[in-house]
Structure 1
Amino acid sequence: MSPARDVPDDFDLPPRVVTQDADAEERAAESALRPTSLAELVGQTRVRDQLDLVLQAARRRGTAPDHVLLSGPPGLGKTTLALIIGAEMSAPVRVTSGPAIQHAGDLAAILSSLAEGEVLFLDEIHRMSRPAEEMLYLAMEDFRVDVVVGKGPGATAIPLELPRFTLVGATTRSGLLPAPLRDRFGFTAHLDFYSPVELDELLHRSARLLGIELDQDASTEIAGRSRGTPRIANRLLRRVRDWAQVHGGGRIDLAAARAALELYDVDEAGLDRLDRAVLQALCTRFGGGPVGLATLAVSVGEETETVETVVEPFLVREGLLLRTPRGRAATPQAWAHLGLTPPRPTPGAAAQLNLLEDAPDGTFGTDADVGPSGGERFR
């Protein structure tokens, strides 16, 4: 007989993390820096004003606000806005994600346990399974779900009434949302990248909450290397704080900011090690391109999805990378940033780069677009 083991009283609950989590401190720090009201929110002025109107009208009517869809790149504050909606409406917030809902029953269990006026935050909503998505249509519009009992000809659909709730959906790829789902949101907002001035204001607010002495020059330096993203700005601020506490007197000045950012491989333009590795490989190994995405990813030892979703958006936005029908290509700015001399362009190469105008949505540029002989496939 095997020895008896101590079984916790809450063994039937979701398992808890009992090992030390390396990211726990980071998550706690990010949570502490989140604004709790629209008045505290820095940046996103247009979205903030529009959302404030929606919430004020709902409070005056005494009803739950319309469903809200938030889209935009990671790190711009979609989760923060969802929590603010709950705080402004004095309502609890239930947090889940699209990948966690793989069956319609999973969604039905969540919806049936909601309280009146509760906010359901569904992150990465575009990754939800199709059966759950179809159930969500009815829940959003009529506040009910049909629970199917049994199988085959004897199956019965039992309608289940739901309390009025507010769904806040967040997505980084709004184009993947089907039109029927997107049209059921009463308010949609796209979050834009922050300007250096907005990031500077955000850094000073975060420094006050963390009890950090932050000079204006240092704040401007960190803001300029934060890729227009608040999450990155706050992360860099904490790392610079660590450097100042270990190597300095605790105060963050310009010299401390530059030394810390150099240590963490963040250059003046905000590029990190992987960004520069991609550009370096593109320019030195492939003559500036064009080269297929999979080939470029292998050359830097990363997954194709990592290069496409993490590295490329920033490099394209900064004008350092082009997505052409035959692959990725470096711009003259990329060569200048690396301190390299670009090769003399040929008429054929120039014409190839001009084809970018024919694909403004970036649909070209994967290895699937290149035929066996290296030429562009006919479409």
Structure 2
Amino acid sequence: MTPGSYEVEFGESGPTGPELQRLTGAGADDAERVQEAALRPKGLAEFVGQPQVRDQLSLVLDAAKVRGKAPDHVLLSGPPGLGKTTLAMIIAADMGSQIRVTSGPAVQHAGDLAAILSSLEEGEVLFIDEIHRVARAAEEMLYVAMEDFRVDVIVGKGPGATAIPLDLPPFTLVGATTRSGLLPAPLRDRFGFTGHLDFYSIEDLQTVLTRSARMLGIEATPGGLGEIAGRSRGTPRIANRLLRRVRDWAQVRGRGIVDLEAAKAALLVYEVDERGLDRLDRSVLSALCRRFGGGPVGLNTLAVSVGEEPDTVGEVAEPFLVREGLLSRTPRGRIATVEGWRHLGLTPPDTIPTV
């Protein structure tokens, strides 16, 4: 096994072995943590939301099984927490094969990738998370491996170096990326299927939470789950995290039931407001309105004012604020919208810059 990668085996109840340890902590034997690891859906039928991607992917997998061959390479794109890793595991489970998991930052040399590829078995799934961060040298090796199922191992250095071709068994590469625009066209074009995952509706998130509450043994009401779903930014990962925090509040300070009252009280404690904004989001929006008159203001200045790094503000807080229509990015800097002012309970100025 190469550094930065691991294999996942599947039992009747889902991931086992290294994957379960990765999700729950090495050696964890607490029953609740095991249940939390089992929250990932085991098949497309259990996967909530993303109906187009599910339908298209189902056709790809069913056709591959009819032909008795490995499915085409799959690229999954979309924001974090929407289920890209889960879908990769579903692909492997559906095809009855193992999955080798690694990430783009872990593949920084062609030798790293060659070691992973040469150890694959026929029909195995190779999942590369954040594939847009694979090093360029390894990326070029990946082209040949995906298309011709071959890697060229370089022996020696300088003019006397020799390329020895090594045939690979047919495998399926599943790549996941949060920034598909950074993928070079030659790599993107080698994927036989590309699926983009969108943010979930509140109804779909409530379905996810209902299933999670049942699997975790949490007593919950539709009102409580609906309140959590509405504050989860359209992201199942956030929804499941908030569900566990509301459960904590209900067990310690409430009646042990995740109802509407418990959800509102717990999310107030954890500083998640009714639109899903957390402490960082509100700090950015408040600084923009109260300190800079609504903008425009540059990212670096805004980040300094809230005591965060520019990357944190630009990649963590801003995308959600923009999507909610509370903040705008313009060539001159960041601007608070009318809705942003009102969300803070402030009166917007008579005129708001648009450029």
- The TM-score with structure 2 as length reference comes to 0.91
Once the two structures are superposed, residues 196-251 of structure 1 have per-residue CA deviations (whole angstroms, 9 ceiling, x without a partner) of: 00001111000010011110110110100000000000000000011111112321
1:149 to 125, 141, 155: 155
- Decide which structure has the larger Cα Rg and report it: 1
Find out whether 1:235 has 2:214 as its counterpart: no
Find out whether 1:307 has 2:321 as its counterpart: no
C-alpha change, 1:174 and 1:29, in structure 2 (3 Å) is farther
Cross-structure match for 2:254: 248
1:226 partner letter:
S
Separation in 2, partners of 1:98, 1:117: 21
Cross-structure match for 1:375: none
Contact 2:35/2:215 (8 A) holds in 1: no
Give, in angstroms, the shift of residue 144 of structure 1: 0.3
C-alpha change, 1:30 and 1:304, in structure 2 (3 Å) is farther
Cross-structure match for 2:121: 115
Give, in angstroms, the shift of residue 32 of structure 1: 1.8
Separation in 2, partners of 1:223, 1:71: 22
Which consecutive aligned stretches of 4+ in structure 1 deviate over 6 angstroms post-superposition? Answer: none
Give, in angstroms, the shift of residue 318 of structure 1: 0.4
Separation in 2, partners of 1:247, 1:144: 60
Within-5 A mapping of 1:193-272 = 193-272=199-278
Separation in 1, partners of 2:36, 2:287: 34
Once the two structures are superposed, residues 297-343 of structure 1 have per-residue CA deviations (whole angstroms, 9 ceiling, x without a partner) of: 11101111111111111100000000000010000001100001122
2:187 to 167, 177, 181: 181
Separation in 1, partners of 2:201, 2:328: 23
The sequence identity of aligned pairs, in percent, is 74
Find out whether 1:32 has 2:31 as its counterpart: no
Within-5 A mapping of 1:89-100 = 89-100=95-106
Cross-structure match for 2:10: none
Give, in angstroms, the shift of residue 28 of structure 1: 5.7
1:50 partner letter:
Q
Give, in angstroms, the shift of residue 31 of structure 1: 2.6
Cross-structure match for 1:53: 59
2:110 partner letter:
A
Separation in 1, partners of 2:83, 2:304: 32
1:293 partner letter:
L
2:145 to 134, 139, 142: 139
Match of 1:323, SS state, is strand
Match of 1:116, SS state, is coil
Give, in angstroms, the shift of residue 344 of structure 1: 2.3
Separation in 1, partners of 2:89, 2:204: 21
Separation in 1, partners of 2:3, 2:292: 54
1:286 to 281, 288, 292: 292
Q: Which blocks of at least 5 consecutive residues in structure 2 are unaligned? A: 5-21
Contact 2:24/2:37 (8 A) holds in 1: no
Q: Which blocks of at least 5 consecutive residues in structure 1 are unaligned? A: 1-11, 15-20, 356-379
Separation in 2, partners of 1:13, 1:64: 26
Find out whether 1:327 has 2:300 as its counterpart: no
Separation in 2, partners of 1:68, 1:295: 40
Separation in 2, partners of 1:324, 1:56: 46
Cross-structure match for 1:342: 348
C-alpha change, 1:288 and 1:123, in structure 2 (3 Å) is same
Paired residues, number: 333
Cross-structure match for 2:322: 316
Match of 2:153, SS state, is strand
Separation in 2, partners of 1:177, 1:22: 28
2:85 partner letter:
T
Once the two structures are superposed, residues 166-191 of structure 1 have per-residue CA deviations (whole angstroms, 9 ceiling, x without a partner) of: 00000000000000000000000000
